[in-house]
Every structure is written in C-alpha cells, then in structure tokens.
C-alpha cells in the first residue's frame, strides 16, 4: 500500500475519536417522553396538523399512555444515546393538566437505571403555557421537579397575546429557584419573529446572563444581515446560548416570503464567529412531530456542518460536546 493510500480516511473517522476524547456527545435538546411512538394514527397528525395544532392534537395519546409506556420510551432512548457514545442529554418532558406527572416519574426511574453511563437533565415542556390558571398550577409543580426551566413562550402569545408575560413567569421562576433555562424560540420560519431578541432583553432584565439557552432560532436566518449582526452582539452580551436541532425544521413548507438563503436552520456559522455558544440537539425522535428522526447524533452533526458550511473541526467538536454541557449546566 502506498503512503497516500495508507492515509485514506473520512471526516467521521477523524472527528468521532475527538468527540469521545472531549467527553462524548452531548444531546442538548430532545423530547424523549414521546420517542418511538410513530404509528399510522400519529402519522396522520404529522400530515394534517401544524406544530401549533400538534400541541393539543396529541392530548388523547398522552392520556392513554401509562407510566410504564413512558418508562419504556425513556429507557430505549437512553440506551440509544449510550450506544452512540453520548454521555449527557437534556430531555423535555410534558408535565401538564392532561398528563399530570406520569412522564416525569417514569423519567426519574429511567434516569436512575442509567445514571452510571448517562447524565440526564429534565426540562418541563409547559406545552399548555403558563398564563391560563390550571396550566400555571402545573407549571409551578413542574418547576419544582425538573433540573432546567423550559417552555414555549409563543404558546401564550397564540392563546392570549402574552408571550412577554410568559417570559417573565419562566425567567422569574428560574431566577428564584436558581435554575438554568431552555426555551423554544423563533421556530416558525417567519421574518416577523423576533423572539431571540426579546429573550436576550428579558434575560438581562432578570439577571440570568449565561444561564439561558434558545432552542431552534430558525427565523433569525430570515432577517437582514445588519439585524443579525446586532442580534449576535446582544446575544453575547446577555450570554444567551443556542441549541440547534439541524434536521427538525427541514420539512418546513416553502413560502414566497422566505429570503434567498433561508433553509430552516439557524445561521450557526455566523453565531459562532460572533462568539455565541452553540450546542447540538436531536429534538423529537420518531413521533408525530418528527417521524423520520432516529435520534442519531452523527446525522445532526453532519447536517449542521453541511448546512452551515462549518469546516472548523475544533468548533464542531465543541458544538457536539462541551457546549452542550454548558447549556445543561453540567
């Protein structure tokens, strides 16, 4: 074999050993309580409902799920992570008037089972919002159970026009309890969305610099270059981190309002250059939201590198490992 042939390799063969040497994969955002639940009925929801409609369309499925069902989903997902060399993950969990605390109780049991191999942080989904009284009661209960305060501010914007008030509840609770925050923002591929910007201001208002992460930030790419530059400076000032789930929004339907470079993924390469911490997540796994996702870390890693034109190996390894742990507070 010639000297040239002896050096034949792939990017994966180069980077996976480096990822393991840096502590292993860190999956900073997943919904493991719903993992592996795709079925003809769930696929119908996928095909006929918007994301906003899915927030409630799966209620009957949730009611019918037992604690044992949730435990099985968590266990299979945690096993999948460990098989890939993932050593830390942060999972959203629904804790609300529909489901009660069945899922989180199952999650605690599954976490204990795998505690020697996988560090798991739980985040409350707050899928029913935090403004409606019953939803707020369950949010307060959930906040005391989870490791990281989570939510969807846009839920309360759609229902009541009160996303800013929701942010105050979410961030105020985290501040009072000394917990990190991870919120879904700017995920609907619209130039009218400015949630990341609002989150930055609210983060500083509540004194939570370097403790808040924004998941998705897809709509940031729809804004002008000058707006994005100002936003990145604000994000760095507020210490707002980003979790990118590269494949989760690739199925967004095309519209005539999208900018030429709009490709349903946060402009991660620009964020990194501006000094913003970016981590990696798989998001939903084989469920009504993302039926085609298998929770494969390399698939997400390859997508973020390709779609965002990232060829800096050091930055990519950080995204896959240490940055995810920063987001989780590990």
Note the pLDDT tens digit of each residue in 4-18.
556 789 999 999 999
Note the pLDDT tens digit of each residue in 109-136.
999 999 999 999 999 999 999 999 999 9
pLDDT at 30 over 70: yes
Sequence-distant (≥ 6) Cβ neighbours of residue 268 within 8 angstroms: 242, 244, 278, 304, 308, 310, 319
Q: What is the mean pLDDT of residues 42-64?
A: 90
Sequence-distant (≥ 6) Cβ neighbours of residue 269 within 8 angstroms: 308, 309, 310
Note the pLDDT tens digit of each residue in 83-104.
999 999 999 999 999 999 999 9
SS3 of 31-46: CHHHCCCCCHHHHHHH
Residue matched to tokens 């490709």? 263
Q: Which helix (H) or strand (E) holds 242?
A: strand 241-244
pLDDT of residue 188: 84
Q: Which CATH architecture has domain 24-328?
A: Alpha-Beta Barrel (3.20)
Whole-angstrom distance, CA of residue 137 vs CA of residue 150 = 15
pTM of the model: 0.94
Whole-angstrom distance, CA of residue 34 vs CA of residue 248 = 15
Note the pLDDT tens digit of each residue in 147-185.
999 999 999 999 999 999 999 999 999 999 999 999 999
């Amino acid at each position: 074999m010639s000297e040239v042939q002896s050096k034949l390799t792939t990017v994966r063969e180069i980077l996976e050993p480096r990822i393991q040497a840096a502590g292993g994969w860190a999956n900073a955002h997943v919904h493991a309580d719903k993992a592996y639940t795709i079925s003809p009925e769930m696929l119908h929801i996928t095909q006929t409902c918007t994301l906003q409609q899915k927030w409630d369309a799966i209620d009957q499925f949730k009611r019918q799920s037992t604690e044992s069902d949730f435990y099985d989903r968590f266990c299979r997902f945690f096993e999948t992570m460990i098989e890939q060399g993932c050593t830390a993950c942060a999972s959203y969990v629904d804790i609300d008037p529909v489901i009660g605390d069945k899922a989180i109780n199952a999650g605690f049991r599954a976490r204990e089972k795998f505690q020697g191999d996988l560090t798991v942080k739980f985040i409350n989904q707050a899928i029913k919002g935090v403004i409606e009284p019953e939803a707020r009661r369950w949010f307060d209960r959930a906040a005391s159970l989870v490791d990281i305060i989570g939510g969807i501010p846009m839920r309360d914007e759609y229902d009541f026009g009160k996303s800013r008030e929701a942010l105050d509840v979410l961030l105020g609770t985290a501040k009072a309890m000394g917990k990190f925050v991870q919120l879904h923002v700017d995920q609907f591929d619209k130039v009218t969305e400015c949630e990341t910007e609002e989150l930055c201001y609210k983060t500083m208002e509540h004194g939570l610099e370097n403790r808040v992460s924004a998941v998705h930030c897809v709509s940031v790419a729809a804004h002008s270059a000058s707006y994005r530059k100002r936003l990145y400076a604000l994000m760095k000032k507020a210490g707002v981190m980003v979790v990118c789930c590269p494949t989760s929004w690739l199925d967004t339907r095309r519209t005539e309002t999208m900018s030429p470079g709009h490709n349903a993924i946060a402009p991660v390469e620009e964020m990194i250059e501006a000094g913003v911490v970016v981590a990696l997540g798989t998001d939903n796994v084989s469920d009504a939201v993302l039926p085609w996702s298998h929770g494969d870390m390399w698939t997400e890693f390859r997508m973020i590198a390709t779609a965002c034109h990232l060829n800096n190996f050091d930055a990519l390894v950080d995204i896959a490992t240490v940055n995810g742990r920063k987001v989780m507070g590990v």
